[in-house]
């Protein structure tokens, strides 16, 4: 039985969370088409007879503009420390620039087994992917040496291309001989955290424009019983105008978010869910330490 930690890092929206969910075969991290969906380093655990992989999904790399941004950056920095394997995810539909190259070059100096994933190949045409491969070639040619990319793997989280292959490469790198988590654990996060994330995911999916980035969720009540779960949560936003959008005409939007989140929580817990949502305005909460603490973004 081998085990190890694997950090999944890269630009926002490239599919890091989707990749972790695919590798584990369960939905652990929330996924939306909006960049900066993931705000905390979230561990996802895959345990089989042969190995235990502890993945760390991370917030997309960014230049922080708010205190929340600083927290997210720190989460990513800390997560790629003390791991056994690095998986750097690129979006095959996007141009790969010098900054991306320099980022990988810098990560290679850590001396960790590093795999580069070119994701979204279901959408990326060869003409898009080829220049990425070409650009990366100076970092690959010696194969297994220190400071070189071990493999470049084109993947798709939509149709599952090369997910098994990536998993087997990762398995070959595992060296530890301890079980970090008991069998049956799929994440290090509490169900209370997961519930907050599901509510945030549904809000991000339903809300448009600038509102989604300014929302956070505080779970005020979480009572899990044998067959049911009772949840009370605040959707925190930055402006009265955003609050009106979140509530919607005659409460139509908050109702949609609530229904969608309730279904999500039911799927995840397998229990009947009673969910009450409230909307609160906390001006500029992304820059206020005490609000950030209430929302769980501290440390
Ligand atoms: N076509 C296609 N879309 C993908 C693929 N992987 C992820 N996506 C989509 O890309 C978007 C972003 O996916 P996420 O997994 O949230 O990306 P992320 O890198 O975790 O994003 P952040 O947490 O914001 O940094 C979502 O709309 C996904 O459905 C893929 O292989 N192909
Ligand atoms: Mg993510």
Tens digit of each residue's pLDDT (9 = 90 or more) over 150-191: 999 999 999 999 999 999 999 999 999 999 999 999 999 999
Q: How far apart (Å, rounded) are the C-alpha atoms in residues 61 and 259?
A: 32
pLDDT band at 209 (very low <50, low <70, confident <90, very high): confident
pLDDT band at 210 (very low <50, low <70, confident <90, very high): confident
pLDDT of residue 146: 61
User: What is the percent of the chain with per-residue pLDDT over 70, rounded to a whole number?
Assistant: 98
pLDDT of residue 298: 86
Do residues 96 and 132 touch, judged by C-beta distance below 8 A? yes
Among the ranges given (20-29, 76-85, 138-147), the one the predictor scored with the smallest mean pLDDT: 138-147
> Dihedral of CA 207/96/146/172: which sign?
positive
The CATH number of 2-173 is 3.40.50.300
Spatial neighbors of 83 by CB under 8 A, at least 6 apart, are 4, 5, 6, 7, 56, 112
Determine the 3-state secondary structure of 274 from DSSP: strand
Gap from CA of 145 to ligand 2 centroid (Å): 30
What is the best residue among 19, 22, 29, 31 to mutate for testing ligand 1's pocket, by most ligand atoms within 8 Å of CB?
31
Q: What is the layout of strands, in order, in the sheet containing 51-57?
A: 42-47, 51-57, 2-10, 85-91, 114-119, 149-154
Determine the 3-state secondary structure of 150 from DSSP: strand
Gap from CA of 36 to ligand 2 centroid (Å): 7
Tens digit of each residue's pLDDT (9 = 90 or more) over 108-137: 999 999 999 999 999 998 899 999 999 999
- Ion ligand 2: residues, CB < 5 A: 16-17, 37-38
| Ligand 1 atom 16 nearest Cα | 31
The superfamily in CATH containing domain 191-294 is K homology (KH) domain (3.30.300.20)
**Which residues does residue 115 pair with via DSSP β-bridges, in sequence order?**
87, 151
Structure tokens at 5: 């930690």
Task: Give how far Cα 176 sits from Cα of 1, 51, 54, 85, 233, Å.
Answer: 8, 10, 11, 12, 40
Structure tokens at 62: 């960014």
145 has a pLDDT exceeding 60: no
Tens digit of each residue's pLDDT (9 = 90 or more) over 260-275: 999 999 999 999 999 9
Ligand 1 pocket list (CB less than 6 A) = 12-18, 31-33, 35-38, 59-60, 119-120, 122-123, 156-158
pLDDT band at 144 (very low <50, low <70, confident <90, very high): low
Spacing of C-alpha 20 from chain mean position: 8
What is the location of CATH 3.40.50.300 in the chain?
2-173
Q: How far apart (Å, rounded) are the C-alpha atoms in residues 150 and 143?
A: 6
| Ligand 1 atom 24 nearest Cα | 36
Maximal C-alpha separation, the chain: 63
Q: From the CA of 12, give the closest atom in ligand 1.
A: 25
Do residues 280 and 234 touch, judged by C-beta distance below 8 A? yes
Quote the pTM value: 0.96
pLDDT of residue 207: 95
| Ligand 1 atom 32 nearest Cα | 120
Count of C-beta atoms within a 10 Å radius of residue 238:
21
Mean pLDDT rounded to a whole number for the chain? 95
What is the best residue among 17, 18, 201 to mutate for testing ligand 1's pocket, by most ligand atoms within 8 Å of CB?
18
Tens digit of each residue's pLDDT (9 = 90 or more) over 211-249: 888 999 999 999 999 999 999 999 999 999 999 999 999
Alpha-carbon Rg for the chain, nearest whole angstrom, is: 20
What is the location of CATH 3.30.300.20 in the chain?
191-294
143 has a pLDDT exceeding 70: no
Could you tell me which residue, 88 or 143, shows the higher pLDDT? Answer: 88
């Amino acid at each position: 039985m081998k085990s190890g930690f694997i950090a999944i890092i890269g630009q926002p929206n490239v599919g890091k969370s989707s990749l972790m969910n695919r590798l584990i075969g369960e939905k652990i991290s929330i996924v939306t088409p909006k960049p900066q969906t993931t705000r905390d380093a979230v561990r996802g655990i895959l345990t089989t007879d042969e190995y235990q992989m502890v993945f760390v999904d991370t917030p997309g790399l960014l230049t922080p503009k708010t205190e929340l941004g600083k927290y997210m950056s720190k989460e990513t920095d800390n997560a790629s420390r003390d791991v056994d394997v690095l998986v750097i995810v690129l979006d095959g539909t996007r141009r790969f620039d010098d900054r991306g190259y320099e980022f990988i070059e810098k990560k290679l100096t850590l001396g960790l087994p590093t795999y580069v994933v070119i994701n979204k190949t279901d959408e990326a045409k060869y003409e898009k992917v080829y220049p990425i491969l070409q650009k990366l070639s100076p970092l690959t040619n010696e194969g297994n040496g220190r400071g070189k990319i071990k493999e470049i793997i084109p993947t798709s989280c939509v149709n599952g291309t090369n997910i098994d292959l990536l998993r087997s490469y990762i398995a070959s790198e595992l060296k530890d001989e301890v079980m970090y988590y008991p069998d049956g654990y799929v994440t290090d996060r509490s169900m209370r955290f997961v519930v907050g994330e599901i509510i945030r995911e549904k809000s991000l999916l339903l809300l448009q424009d600038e509102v989604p980035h300014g929302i956070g969720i505080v779970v005020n009540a979480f009572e899990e019983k044998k067959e049911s779960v009772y949840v009370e949560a605040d959707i925190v936003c930055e402006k009265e105008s955003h609050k009106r959008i979140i509530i919607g005409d005659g409460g139509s939007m908050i109702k949609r978010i609530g229904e969608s989140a309730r279904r999500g929580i039911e799927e995840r817990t397998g229990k009947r869910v009673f969910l009450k949502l409230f909307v609160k305005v906390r001006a500029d909460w992304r820059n206020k330490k005490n609000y950030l603490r209430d929302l769980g973004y501290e440390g």
